[in-house]
Structure formats: C-alpha cells, structure tokens
Amino acid sequence: MDKPSADGGPTRFETHPSRYKHWKLAVTGELATLTMAVDDEHPHKPGYELKLNSYDLSVDIELADAILRLRFEHPEVKCVVFTAELDRVFCSGANIYMLGLSTHSFKVNFCKFTNETRIYLEDASANSGLASLCACKGTTAGGGYELALACDETMLVDDGNSAVSFPETPLLAVLPGTGGLTRLVDKRKVRRDRADVFCTTAEGIKGKRAKEWGLVDHVVSRSSWDATVTERAKSLSAKQTVTRGPAVELPALSAKVEANGVKYRYVELQVDRTARTGELTVRGPEASDVLDFTTPETWSLHAFRELDEALLRLRFDFPEIGMIAVRTVGDPKLVVLHDELLATTTTGFAREIRLLQRRVLKRFDNTARSFYAVADSAQSCFAGSLLELALGADRFYMLIDGDQKIGVATSVANAGFNVMSSGLSRLGARFYGDPELATAVLQRGAPKPKSPRGAIALPPERAKLLAEHPAYKLAMSIEMIPSEEAEKLGIATIAADDIDFGDELRIALEERASLSPDALTGMEQSLRFVGPETLETKIFGRLSAWQNWIFTRPNSTGEHGALTLYGKPERPQFGWKRT
C-alpha cells in the first residue's frame, strides 16, 4: 500500500503463535496457559516502549488470534489460564504513551477492538466450553483488569502490594475503554457506590477488600499460588460439557494489499479516497468448494474470516472512508445449501463455524461506517448467511429487473441463530414493532419441496453424494423473492427500475458521504441496536460513544490535558464546567 494509514498502516491482523512477540501459548491436555510476556521493543508502531506488560494493538491482535486458535485448533482445551511472566506485575493496561501519540480514530477503534476480543473470550465460555481464569500475580491495572473481568474467575495474589485498579479517570481524564465500567456493575454486580470509589482511586484495591467488594473471586498467598491456580483451572475445566472439534489448523488468508483496498479469495474491499466511499464485495461458495465441513478451507469459515479482517482493515487503515456499498456475488442456491448443511452437521467444528459467523456479523454491526447493501445484478447473492449483511446494513437498495433474476432468499441462517448484540435476530430488529412480519418473511422465503427450481451445478461426485440429502432438496427448491416483493415485505429499503435506480443510488451514496461522520456514528449506533439493552449494547452503543467524545475533550487530550501531560512534571489544567 503506497499510502499508509494515519497510524502507520497497513495493519496486519493475521498472525500465528510462531510469530507472537507478546504472548506465550502452552497447551497441556485440557488446560492451556497464555502467558503475557510483552516485548517492549516490538510495539505496533515506533515511538514508545511497552513497559510493565502494557499493551497496544499488536498485543491484542495476538490475544485475539490465540483465542480463535484455541477454539478451532485445540478442541481438547477446556480452560485457559492467563498469567504473566513478570513477577510483580500482571498487566499495567493500555500503553499511555501509545494513546497519547495516536490519532483520535485509532484510539476509539483500538478500544472497540479490545472490547470485541474480550467479548469473544466470554463467548467462548458461554458457547464453546472454554472457560478462563485470570491469575493476577501482581499489579493489575486498567486494560489488564478489564481482561480479568472478561474471564470466568479472577485470582489476585495476597502480598500486601498487588492491587486491581481502574486509574483512567483520576490519572488520564478518560474512561476504562474496554467495557470495564459495564462489566464491573452488570457482570460482577459490584455495588455502584463501591464501584464509584474503585474507579476514582488510582492506586486501586488490594487483597481481602478486593474480594469482599466482588472485584476478584480469590485472594491467594504466594506460597500456595501455583497449586491453587492449577486446582481452580482443573475445577473450571471439569464443569465444561460442550464438545468441540475435530481439530483443524487455520490456514493463512493470503490477503493481497493494494493502495486502495485489499483482495482475498472471497472478499474484496476497494475504496475511493476522493469520494470517501468504498465497496465491500463478498462472493458466495463456488460449485467446487468443499461442502462437508471437515476442512478449514470450507467457504463459511474461510470467507467469514476474510470478511472479519476486511472490516478491521477498513476501521484502522481507511479512517476517512465513511460510506460503504455492500455487494454479493454468487449462486444463492449454493449459499442456502451451505447454510443448511452447516446447521445440520453436528460436529463441534461446524458449531464453531456458525459461532464465528455470528461474531463477524456483530463486528459488521459495530463498525462505524454507513453500510448500504446493493443488489443490482443477476449475479447478486443476498441469500441466507449473506442476506444477514443486507439486513444489518443501514439501507438496502434493489434493482427491479423484468426477468426477476434479482432477488433475495432466506435460509436457516436467518431464523434466529445469528443474533445481534441486543439478542435479537436481524429480522427481529428490522421488524421490532411487528414480529409477525419477520415470521412472514421466513415463511415466504422457505423452500417449496413440491416446486423444484432446478438442480444446483455441483461436481458429479458431490452431486451424487448429496442427491438425496434433505439440505440439497431444500436448496434446490428455493424460490427467490424478487426486488419489488422484497420491498413490500420490508426486506428492501428501496426498489427501483433501471430508469431511476442508478441516479437514486448515486445520489444516496454522495449525500451520505457529505454528512458529518461524528453525527452519523451516533445516529447509526442508536438505530442499529433497537430493543433490549445488554452488556454488549451498553459497551458499543453507550461506552464507545462516550469514549469517542471524551477522547476529544481538552481535559484529556488538549494541550494541558491529563493524557497529554502524563509522565511530565506539569499538572493538567481542567475546564471545570459540567455539561
């Protein structure tokens, strides 16, 4: 890429344990250990050192990779223990000098990414039988304590010095940006008056008081530390009943990075810097793709891993691109077949693929960009799991063609598994005021076994194997919902014929790109998360919005702000108006 991002891009989100600089992953039977050993000489970008196990984006990229690999490559592991190589410090949190040197957009996206990584750890515990124990044998501050809060249990050494703390507000005039405030009161159910004291006490809370207040689960002496950590990890492991596997080794994604985008096998992101717009295209499975879910090359895993990284690159490497047209290409029948086979495959590996799809679609929801889904070609493939992209977009534009070759199709992937952060399906969120409409869409899009629409073009050996499979018969019988009907059903936002479509879409894209990105971020996040509020919606809707604002305030990042002056002899100068 000949033009780097504002923070030193392009950013590489794909890594491997053999290339880790900051974590050490060890697996012994049902237990895994992730040891934090931050190499201060390998920051994400030059200009600061990662002292005292402080972390930056590079540290969290490795953490996200390790969690993903434990789920897919080590299905035997039932509990992961987080520990540190330093003796008196577990983690001192996000590196303050990194934050001070970073652009505003980087800071916010960094917080969002670390949030998502910790939510994925919680998701592994809730859905994949992978429990977690944070063994804090030393000071645990800021983002380090936020990692501990994401684990099932937290253990703190009782040595008279080690404490847990959230020093962000008293020291930096910002918030614990990785969901800490929400997890403190919503997840750990710490009394809010105690939480108030804790979040404004820079030195934190130690020992027995930390346990009494519910900040940690166990306080353990140094003499019995190792034995107690092992005992608790085995106890958590014994409680896990979900079976994963078989194990697969995740292959490299082989991204082709260009000056104005990135290309993968199934996903392509292209941007127009002048217009501040872009296109995100996702290809459906090909007839030659493996459909039996025993390989990591299977479409639903590989394509959604590519989509995940493309979204992250969009956030970090193209901060000025605010408007994205989302298109799909492929055979809708193959997507529906893939979805149905995946849903009926009972292996833990197949379940992990579906869970990964759900996480990636949440990443799509949480991305601060305007997304307009566009179906304007007979090659369009908004079906099943790819229809979720249109349902999650801010608008959906469809071209009305005389042959009715442009349409949408539903599958089991739209029936409720792929929930948003709110706990609602995307159809449920779309028709929040009238749930019966969501049911009507699923019924209309359901395959009609007595009305076959033609065979799917598969390799002969696959066709013979699948000919009598119920999923094949369902996929063969799908009936596309044409554009005009999709608009009436409420799936499409606007359906127009070819006389008006091109100009209407162009004007809509240009108008959106001309609006304030700050206002749009607030508006979109409010509108996307209709319905019940959850820990996740509080983090991404409320916390991210407030952090976005606080990071621009003079009290924190101004010339005399607390974050700007951290580590310098001058004291911050605050504006005292409360608004």
Burial of 259 by CB count in 10 Å (0-12 exposed, 13-18 middle, 19+ buried)? exposed
Point out which residues pair with 395 in neighbouring strands. Answer: 372
Say whether pLDDT at 2 is over 60: no
Q: How many CB atoms lie within 10 A of CB 322?
A: 20
pLDDT at 177: 76
Distance of CA 33 to the CA centre of its chain: 23
Least confident of 301-315, 477-491, 528-542: 528-542
Domain shared by 293 and 401, yes or no: yes
What is the SS3 assignment for 26? strand
What is the SS3 assignment for 31? strand
Of 467, 484, 518, the last residue of a domain is: 518
CA distance 248 to 13: 20
pLDDT at 465: 64
SS (H, E, C) 391-412: HHCCEEEEEECCCCCCEEECCH
| Average pLDDT of the chain, as a whole number | 91
Taking residues 419-428, report their average pLDDT: 96
Domain shared by 229 and 260, yes or no: no
Q: Give the whole-number percent of the chain exceeding pLDDT 70.
A: 94
Rounded to 10 degrees, the C-alpha dihedral 205/207/219/176 comes to 10
Tell me the pLDDT tens digit for each residue of 353-393.
999 999 999 999 999 999 999 999 999 999 999 999 999 99
State the pLDDT confidence band at 287, using cuts at 50, 70 and 90: confident
What are the φ/ψ torsions at residue 429 (nearest 5 degrees)?
Answer: -70, -35
CA distance 532 to 211: 31
Q: How many domains does the chain divide into?
A: 2
Q: CA angle, 421 as apex, 415 and 424 as ends, to 5°?
A: 35
- Is the previous residue joined to 10 through a cis bond, with omega within 30 degrees of 0? yes
Residue 60: C-alpha distances to residues 56, 179, 279, 368 (Å): 7, 15, 28, 20
Tell me the pLDDT tens digit for each residue of 61-110.
999 999 999 999 999 999 999 999 998 999 999 999 999 999 999 999 99
Tell me the pLDDT tens digit for each residue of 99-148.
999 999 999 999 999 999 999 999 999 999 999 999 999 999 999 999 99
Domain shared by 222 and 307, yes or no: no
State the pLDDT confidence band at 450, using cuts at 50, 70 and 90: low
Domain shared by 221 and 148, yes or no: yes
What is the SS3 assignment for 349? helix
Q: Give the whole-number percent of the chain exceeding pLDDT 90.
A: 76
Cα-Cα end-to-end distance for the chain: 43
Least confident of 3-17, 20-34, 395-409, 533-547: 3-17
Domain annotation covers residue 573: no
Domain shared by 217 and 282, yes or no: no
**Contact between residue 396 and residue 390 where contact means Cβ atoms under 8 Å apart:** yes
CA distance 75 to 59: 24
Say whether pLDDT at 265 is over 60: yes
Q: What is the DSSP annotation of 191-203?
A: -HHHHHHHHT-TT
Domain shared by 416 and 298, yes or no: yes
CA distance 408 to 388: 11
State the pLDDT confidence band at 454, using cuts at 50, 70 and 90: low
Q: In which element (H, E) is residue 232 found?
A: helix 225-238
CA distance 199 to 169: 7
Domain annotation covers residue 51: yes
Domain shared by 154 and 295, yes or no: no
Domain shared by 145 and 278, yes or no: no
pLDDT at 444: 87
What are the φ/ψ torsions at residue 216 (nearest 5 degrees)?
Answer: -135, 165
Check the CA dihedral 493-497-500-501 and report its sign: positive
CA distance 78 to 248: 16
- Can you give the CATH number for the domain in which 367 is found? 3.90.226.10
Q: What is the DSSP annotation of 429-476?
A: HHTTT-HHHHHHHHHHHS--TTS--------HHHHHHHTT-HHHHHHH
Domain shared by 234 and 260, yes or no: no
**Which of 147, 68, 76 shows the shortest CA–CA distance to 355?**
68
Domain that holds residue 230: 17-238
Domain annotation covers residue 202: yes
Of 226-235, 281-290, 524-533, the range with the highest mean pLDDT is 226-235
The pTM (predicted TM-score) of the whole model is 0.93
Of 212, 238, 264, the last residue of a domain is: 238
Tell me the pLDDT tens digit for each residue of 539-573.
887 777 777 788 888 998 899 988 898 889 999 99
Q: List, in order, residues 6 or more apart from 503 with CB less than 8 Å away.
A: none
pLDDT at 3: 35
Domain shared by 500 and 405, yes or no: yes
Q: How many CB atoms lie within 10 A of CB 448?
A: 11
Domain annotation covers residue 557: no
Domain annotation covers residue 554: no
Of 207, 238, 269, the last residue of a domain is: 238
Write down the residue that tokens 């050494």 correspond to.
157
**Which of 11, 9, 92, 87 shows the shortest CA–CA distance to 50?**
92
Domain annotation covers residue 492: yes
pLDDT at 463: 66
CA distance 44 to 345: 40
Say whether pLDDT at 422 is over 70: yes
What burial letters (b/e) apply to 94-116, b meaning 16+ CB within 10 Å? bbbbbbbbbeebbbbbbbbbbbb
Q: CA angle, 424 as apex, 419 and 427 as ends, to 5°?
A: 90
Least confident of 68-82, 166-180, 253-267, 299-313: 166-180
Q: What is the DSSP annotation of 79-145?
A: EEEEEESSSSEEE-EE-HHHHHHS-HHHHHHHHHHHHHHHHHHHHHHHHSS-EEEEEE-SEEETHHH
Domain shared by 506 and 416, yes or no: yes
Domain annotation covers residue 23: yes
CA distance 228 to 121: 22
Domain annotation covers residue 473: yes
State the pLDDT confidence band at 1, using cuts at 50, 70 and 90: very low
Backbone Cα Rg of the chain: 24
Say whether pLDDT at 575 is over 50: yes
What burial letters (b/e) apply to 472-487, b meaning 16+ CB within 10 Å? bbbbbbbebbbbbbbb
pLDDT at 525: 86
State the pLDDT confidence band at 5, using cuts at 50, 70 and 90: very low
Q: How many CB atoms lie within 10 A of CB 498?
A: 11
Domain shared by 149 and 39, yes or no: yes
